[in-house]
Amino acid sequence: MLESIDLTQVDWARAQFALTAMFHWIFVPLTLGLSFLVAFFESIYVKTGNPEWKRLTRFWMGLFAINFAIGVATGIIMEFEFGTNWSNYSWMVGDIFGAPLAVEGIFAFFIEATFFAVMFFGWDRVSKKTHLFATWMVAIGSNLSALWILVANGWMQLPVGMSFNPDAARFEMQNFWAVLFSPVAVSKFTHTTSSGFMLAAVFVIAVSSWFLLKQRHVEMAKRSIVVAATFGLIAGLFVAFTGDESAFTNAHHQPMKLAAMESLYHGGIPTGLIPFGILDPAKQPGDGKDAFLVKVEVPGVLSLLANRVLTSFVPGIDDLLYGNPQQHIMSTGDKIARGKLAVAGLTRYKEARQTGDAAAAASALEQLRANQDYLGYGYLNRPEDAVPSVPLTFYSFRAMIALGTVLMLVFVLFLFFSWNGRIAEQRWLLRLGVLSVFLAYLASEAGWIVAEVGRQPWAIQDLLPVTVANSNLSSATVQTTFFAFLIVFTTLLIAEIRILLKQIQTGPEGH
Amino acid sequence: MFQRFAKIFDFYRQGFRSMRLGRTLWTVILIKLVVLFTLARLLLPDHLQNFPTDRERGAYVLGQLTQPPPRP
């Protein structure tokens, strides 16, 4: 069955979606976090009545608007690609995605569009409190929009609250609340939004640091730094807490992703964490060799993080692929066998329905239902196909955490020197502040690489691999559109960044 | 009621008229959307739209799940 699927075309389709998603993710986290920072700035203005806070708020609000508008455009392209490159997937999940994306559209239209206009056009036309309310509603609306998108993505990682309809070839929602409150959706939303808050805080610090280095808008920059660094530090603590929760949910619902994140091939009791390591590029599943050329291991910590029990077992890639009877882990080979029974049942069901043979259809349906949880495995050729890219997942995870830790240190340093009134003199720190914006974006993108590469080969965990999810397009077509999109995205990104930089250089004088 | 709608309309109209940076930005965004949608429409047809009913779309996808068609 898989012999007729062009894997080159699948990989180009994946690359194209990754390209679009990563471009989109340049703008979204800043929208999520800067919306709240602007709301905080304006709250201080309304509370104190100091017009300098109003000037400051309007400056950051201008940058927020630029970033928000560009992010909307990239998001629309992504939703369009669901239908063009992933039509099988779009059809199958339409009933599940329809509700969250419809709610997201309603939120985006009614809350963001309405209050966005009041926020921008209403400075001198509505009362201070009305305007402040509109600003807070934009912040809340933006983040609630993110909720629904992340609920949809969370469902891909842990498909709950649904049943598979073999007649329509669709997953149909049975329990909206199970989808909304799935542990993966909750941890994904909280971790993603709080990481956006951190990135926005770094952005404000970076721009403010640049102003201080140029000795422009000194008081505005100092005020912005204090609020942003405080916001960033609190958000960073929340990122760490929700990151831990994400690892816990991965351990219980996507153990192969966690094993890839840790390059863990053989589980143990307890299992150690490897904060630093260099992978052996020649390592293959089942070869019995050490996965690392160099490593630093902290004993027992992975058991603690994954299961919150120091003496617990964390399965490795080989345990998951080849089975571990002592730990009651089914091998991927057995899952493939059951998956093939599910696919065979689905095929017989389709044929029986076409011929009108009710008894054969009932028998086939029973076979499908008995093995349905492993449906996606029926499309894999060998157990090793279930392993994501270990190097990409492993290194991206460590890059994200290392950069996040550096950013927390940046927040602490900026707060310390702001508290003792010496921030403007610390040119080394101000330069670090400017550079840290690149670190924040790298960390942010690395996190999504972990989340999305780590779930491969699944479009829907255990139920639909990406090889079956995509549209039947030629690899040449997808390759052409990949490079066309790359050129267009890059050209327009340069234009958009120039608009943003020009607005920064203009400074608050424009308001 | 009508006066309220008129005030809201006037609010948006004056707001958009007073935009300076926003016009450049929206021009860039519209160019991006038009170019990308045109490329996508020309090069990436949505196969499922070739089928007139949901039943036929479902049958096509079911066929993909049970026996993928030969490569073009």
Please give the model's pTM, rounded to 2 decimal places: 0.92
pLDDT tens digits for range A284-308: 999 999 999 999 999 999 999 999 9
Q: Pick the residue with more confidence: A78 or A382?
A: A382
A457 within 8 A of A223, measured Cβ to Cβ: no
Instruction: Confirm whether A380 is domain-assigned.
Output: no
Same domain (yes/no): A125, A229: yes
Interface test with B, best of A80, A467, A494 (most B CBs within 10 A): A80
Contact A199, A400 (CB under 8 A): no
From the candidates B17, B19, B41, B61, which should be mutated to test the interface with A, based on the most A CB atoms within 10 A? Answer: B61
Judgement on whether residues A299 and A173 belong to the same structural domain of the protein: no
Residues A308 and A413 in one domain: no
Burial-class residue A278 by CB neighbours within 10 Å (0-12, 13-18, 19+). Answer: exposed
Q: Do A136 and A272 have their domain in common?
A: no
Domain span at residue A295? 260-278+290-325
A-chain residues near B66 (CB < 8 A): 343, 346-347, 350
Q: For residues A158 and A125, state if they share a domain.
A: yes
Give yes or no for B12 touching A (CB within 8 A).
Answer: yes
Average pLDDT over residues A311-330: 95
In 3D, which of A48, A222, A216, A32 has the Cα closest to residue A128?
A48
Same domain, A245 and A264: no
- The answer to whether residue A66 neighbours chain B at the CB level (below 8 Å) is yes
Amino acid identity, residue A329?
Answer: I
Summarised one tens digit per residue, pLDDT across range B18-65 is 777 677 777 777 877 788 778 777 776 667 777 888 888 888 889 889
> Which of A5, A72, A121 lies nearest to residue B11, judging by beta carbons?
A121
Q: Which of B10, B12, B19, B32 to mutate to test the interface with A (most CBs of A within 10 A)?
A: B32
Whether A91 and chain B come into contact, CB under 8 Å, resolves to: yes
Indicate if A196 and A304 belong to the same structural domain.
no
Q: Does residue A272 share a domain with residue A239?
A: no
Do residues A244 and A296 both lie within one domain?
no
Nearest CB to A84; choose among B15, B46, B66: B46
CA angle, A85 then A75 then A64, to 5°: 165
Give the Cα separation of A408 and A321 in Å (integer): 38
Q: Alpha helix (H) ranges present in A283-426?
A: 301-307, 317-322, 332-355, 358-371, 390-419
Residue A233 covered by a domain: yes
Are B40 and A481 an interchain contact pair (Cβ–Cβ within 8 Å)?
yes
Residue-level pLDDT at A4: 52
- With a CB cutoff of 8 Å and minimum separation 6, the contacts of A67 are A27, A30, A31, A34, A500
Residues A418, A315 share a domain:
no
Asked if the ipTM is above 0.85, the reply is no
State whether A311 and A408 are in the same domain.
no
Cβ-contact A469, A83 below 8 angstroms: no
